């Protein structure tokens, strides 16, 4: 890229960061824990999130979700089956979510009524890593069908994660997924990050994930 483009890109990122900081302050004033979910297209973010939203609601919580896609509102329709309030962000060609898109889609929600805000990013292992959305927790998802080497090939995204989720563990055997190698690769770019193994199909690993997320929110507001 030419230097002028890099310079302007830097200015876009600086503006995004400032807005993200303002959003984070607002979210904390309302008692929210905000989670940014990033992965490849097809990793199964939506399928897992449907179960997680439902599990949180069963446990007495009030989660909401924003979901980003280039086109279609398929995923919002799927997520809404959990019973949680959900909004679709259509980016129309932009390959990642930005803080401004998040802010634009919060209008009309009284954020103090909720305790968790999930932001399901556009499926992309590169660009979302540069855009802070005001989240407290960034979770990167990797499916058992994608190959264990993804953390090494996309280190920036994995490095910025607060937790990693392996999805589609029901397919681990037919895919000959090597869980130890995947964990070693994740930890080589992000030492010590917690790893959750899940299967939306078999509804496995949801409870543990739910507990961890609830504990993160408690820790945030106990510290504050």
Q: Rule CB under 8 A: which residues touch a second copy?
A: 1-2, 4-5, 8-9, 11-12, 40-42, 44, 69-72, 74, 93-95, 122-127, 143, 145-147, 149-150, 152-156, 168, 170-171, 174-175
Q: Which residues contact 48 (CB under 8 A, 6 or more apart)?
A: 141, 165, 167, 198, 200, 206
Cβ proximity to a second copy: between 11 and 112 the closer is: 11
Rounded to the nearest whole angstrom, what is the least distance from the CB of residue 128 to a second copy in the complex?
10
Rounded to the nearest whole angstrom, what is the least distance from the CB of residue 179 to a second copy in the complex?
16
Cα dihedral 11/16/17/20 (nearest 10): 170
Phi, psi of 222 (to 5 degrees): -80, -40
Cβ proximity to a second copy: between 126 and 215 the closer is: 126
Rounded to the nearest whole angstrom, what is the least distance from the CB of residue 156 to a second copy in the complex?
7
Rounded to the nearest whole angstrom, what is the least distance from the CB of residue 153 to a second copy in the complex?
5
Rounded to the nearest whole angstrom, what is the least distance from the CB of residue 189 to a second copy in the complex?
10
Q: Which residues contact 90 (CB under 8 A, 6 or more apart)?
A: 69, 70, 71, 72, 73
Cβ proximity to a second copy: between 3 and 60 the closer is: 3
Cβ proximity to a second copy: between 116 and 158 the closer is: 158
Rounded to the nearest whole angstrom, what is the least distance from the CB of residue 164 to a second copy in the complex?
15
Cβ proximity to a second copy: between 5 and 224 the closer is: 5
Rounded to the nearest whole angstrom, what is the least distance from the CB of residue 151 to a second copy in the complex?
10
Helical packing angle, 206-223 and 45-58, nearest 10°: 70
Cβ proximity to a second copy: between 2 and 224 the closer is: 2
Cβ proximity to a second copy: between 30 and 127 the closer is: 127
**What strands, in cross-sheet order, belong to the sheet with 86-90?**
86-90, 63-69, 116-120, 33-38, 137-143, 163-167, 195-197
Rounded to whole angstroms, the Cα distance separating 112 from 131 reads 25
């Amino acid at each position: 890229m030419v230097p002028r483009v890099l310079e302007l890109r830097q200015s876009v990122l600086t503006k995004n960061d400032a807005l993200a900081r303002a959003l984070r302050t607002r979210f904390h004033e309302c008692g929210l824990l905000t989670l940014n979910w990033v992965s490849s297209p097809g990793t199964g973010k939506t399928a897992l999130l449907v179960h997680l939203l439902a599990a949180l609601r069963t446990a007495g919580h009030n989660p909401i979700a924003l979901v980003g896609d280039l086109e279609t509102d398929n995923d919002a329709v799927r997520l809404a089956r959990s019973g949680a309030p959900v909004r679709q962000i259509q980016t129309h060609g932009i390959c990642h979510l930005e803080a401004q898109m998040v802010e634009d889609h919060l209008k009309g929600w009284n954020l103090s009524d909720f305790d968790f805000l999930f932001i399901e990013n556009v499926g992309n292992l590169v660009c979302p890593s540069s855009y802070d959305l005001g989240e407290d927790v960034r979770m990167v998802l990797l499916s058992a069908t994608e190959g264990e080497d993804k953390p090494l090939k996309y280190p920036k995204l994995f490095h910025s994660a607060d937790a990693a989720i392996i999805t589609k563990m029901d397919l681990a055997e037919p895919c000959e997924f090597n869980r130890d190698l995947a964990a070693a690769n994740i930890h080589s770019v992000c030492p010590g990050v917690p790893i959750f193994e899940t299967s939306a199909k078999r509804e496995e690993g949801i409870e543990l994930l739910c507990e961890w997320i609830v504990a993160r929110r408690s820790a945030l507001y106990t510290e504050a």
